[in-house]
Structure 1
Amino acid sequence: MKLSHFRHVVAVSEQGSLRAAARHLNVEQSAISRSIRELENELGTPLFERHGRGAIPTKVGESFVNRAIHILNEVRRASDEVEQVRGGYTGKVVVGLSTVAHIVLLPKLLEPYRRRYPDVQLDVVEGLFPSLQSSILAGSIDFYIGPPPEYSIPPEMSQEKLFDNTRQVVARKGHPLSQATSLAELSEAKWVTTSITAKPEEELRELFAAHGLPPPKLALRAHSALTLIVSVAYSDLLAMAPSQIVEFPLISHAVVAVPVVEVLPAPPIVLVQRFGLHLTPAAELFADFARRVALQRYRQG
């Protein structure tokens, strides 16, 4: 097997057809066809089911593609590490960051990191652990920083807590309930829920129930921080969001924290990576900068 075989089979899987894979890799379609045929002959089994509109991996093909992705990621990482150990500043670092990680960590570490590795390509993927888990396991993402999943992480991964966190009720500036001091005063309001957990509406219901209040009225489910911020800033909807939202300069002009007396717990912010994944110097430095910023924030209370 050659690395070109792995690249071709992954491209066909991701692009959905041999023609699209050839266009994506800028090679002749005949080269893709030859690679797939050689692999299937060597393995003694079909890797794709061909049909009029393209190609779909077989069960064996799915397993092979997953392994091929892992191999290509390791090859890319090995090449980057050799260059960086030799004193070079090129390569690629892929990190998954939640909204809180974007707001708390990235502004303080980005410029120092860029000064150290000005020519390293940073690939920042916004998301939460459940949507990024498969990419972390495959090595496509070096590590993830954000709230942990509500379930235990897989045994193939390690988890390191960076700092604890809290949440606040968030409203637009000028909201008629912006000066409320208890959840009871918000019982008639309508809410935006997030997608941090599998059943985000349960978070609000459990919180209200714990204080002897009826279930809140849920009006919108946000699958991104941008949706949540826009929904709150341009309507009378309320949200329970990480405390950092109202501290962020790009957002603070539009929303305020409602000063309720109840404590609103939030999951901690953690760093998750795959066991046995040896980070390149550039990736390790990014993680180390994130630890330093988190430690400074923790010391500041």
Structure 2
Amino acid sequence: MKFRHLRAITAVAERGSLRAAARHLGIDQPSITRSIREVEQELGVALFERHPRGVSPTAMGQAFLRRAGAIQNELRLAVDEIAQMRGEASGQVAVTLSSAVQMSLLPRVIAPFRRRYDDVYLTLREGSFPTAEASLLEGAIDFYVGPVPEAPPKGEVVVEKLFDNTRLVFGRKGHPKAAAKTLAELADAKWIRTLVAVDNATELAQVFEHFGLRPPIVEMTAASTMAIMLAVANSDLLTMLPKQWLEFVGTRELLQPIEIAERLPAPPVCIVSRARLPLTPAAEFLADLFRRASGRHVQAAAG
């Protein structure tokens, strides 16, 4: 089995047809067909099901693709690492960031990273650790920065805490509850929860329970920063989000924090990377920039 086999099979799965895969890879369709047939003969199983609109992986094919993707990611990282060790500012770095990290730390990180690695292709994804975990373990992303659940997989990842965090309650400018001073005064309000934060729905209920209150009324779920801001800015919905949202100009223009007496804890912000393999030089430099930005963020918040 050769690397070209992995590339061909992965391309077919991603594109959904042999023709599209051949076009993507810049090779002829018979070469794609031959690669699939050779691997299927070697494994003794069918990797794809043919149907009128193209092909889709079989159960065996899906299992093979998971391993093939990890192999290709590792080979890419190996090539990038060697090139960067030789002093070349090339390759790729991919990271997943929580919304709070994007707002508070990313602006301090981008410029120095581009100055040092101007030819490295950088991919930034928004998400929580549960959405990033599989990609991290497969090597599709280099690391994750954001809140982390209490029990990430032991032995598979390294979790480095950057700083502890708190939440604030946000509503639109002029919200009827803007003058509330306690969480109890918000008990009858309606809320929006986000899928970006880690286990946000559970944590929202847990916060109310911690203060002896019934779970809040949740009427909407949003999976992106922009959707949350627009939904809250154009309704009477409230949301509970990390305090870093105040650092984003869009939030300050559209929303206002409701200054209640209770301190609302949030999971600490961490860097999570794989335990068994080091980051490439470019990825390690980017991770170190996030560490430095976190230190400045904590100092600014304290001062």
Give the CA deviation at 1:133: 1.4
| 2:296 paired with 1:296 | yes
Mapped contact 2:104–2:247 kept (Cα < 8 A): no
Q: Which runs of 4+ in 1 moved over 6 A?
A: none
Give the CA deviation at 1:162: 1.1
Partner in structure 1 of residue 89 of structure 2: 89
Partner in structure 2 of residue 36 of structure 1: 36
Partner in structure 2 of residue 25 of structure 1: 25
Letter in 1 for 2:30: S
SS of 2:145's equivalent in the other structure is strand
Deviations 1:222-258, CA, capped at 9 Å, x for gaps: 1122111111112211111110112222321211111
Mapped contact 2:192–2:222 kept (Cα < 8 A): yes
Give the CA deviation at 1:210: 2.9
Give the CA deviation at 1:259: 0.6
Partner in structure 1 of residue 189 of structure 2: 189
Q: Quick one: distance in 2 between partners of 1:151 and 1:291?
A: 22
Mapped contact 1:90–1:119 kept (Cα < 8 A): yes
Partner in structure 1 of residue 99 of structure 2: 99
Q: Quick one: distance in 1 between partners of 2:28 and 2:15?
A: 15
* Change beyond 3 A, Cα 1:17–1:151: farther
Deviations 1:135-187, CA, capped at 9 Å, x for gaps: 11110101111111354335322211111110000011222221211112222
Q: Quick one: distance in 2 between partners of 1:23 and 1:150?
A: 45
Mapped contact 1:172–1:234 kept (Cα < 8 A): yes
SS of 1:253's equivalent in the other structure is helix
TM-score by length of 2: 0.93
Deviations 1:175-205, CA, capped at 9 Å, x for gaps: 222121111222222111122344x433333
Cα RMSD over matched residues?
Answer: 1.8
Q: Quick one: distance in 1 between partners of 2:57 and 2:279?
A: 30
Partner in structure 2 of residue 263 of structure 1: 263
Which region of structure 1 is more displaced relative to structure 2, 181-190 or 122-131?
181-190
What count of residue pairs does the alignment treat as equivalent?
A: 300
Q: Quick one: distance in 1 between partners of 2:248 and 2:164?
A: 18
Letter in 2 for 1:219: E
Q: Quick one: distance in 2 between partners of 1:144 and 1:210?
A: 29
Equivalent residues in 2 for 1:136-285, closer than 5 Å? 136-149=136-149, 151-195=151-195, 196-198=197-199, 200-285=200-285
Give the CA deviation at 1:50: 2.4
TM-score by length of 1: 0.93
Letter in 2 for 1:31: S
Partner in structure 2 of residue 52 of structure 1: 52
Letter in 1 for 2:280: T
Partner in structure 2 of residue 10 of structure 1: 10
Which region of structure 1 is more displaced relative to structure 2, 271-280 or 259-268?
271-280
Mapped contact 2:92–2:122 kept (Cα < 8 A): yes
Partner in structure 2 of residue 74 of structure 1: 74
Mapped contact 1:171–1:239 kept (Cα < 8 A): yes
Letter in 1 for 2:257: A
Give the CA deviation at 1:72: 1.2
Letter in 1 for 2:229: I
Q: Quick one: distance in 2 between partners of 1:153 and 1:274?
A: 10
Q: Quick one: distance in 1 between partners of 2:239 and 2:161?
A: 25
Which region of structure 1 is more displaced relative to structure 2, 245-254 or 203-212?
203-212
Mapped contact 2:148–2:198 kept (Cα < 8 A): no
Q: Quick one: distance in 1 between partners of 2:44 and 2:184?
A: 67
Letter in 2 for 1:146: G
Q: Quick one: distance in 2 between partners of 1:265 and 1:203?
A: 10
Letter in 2 for 1:43: L
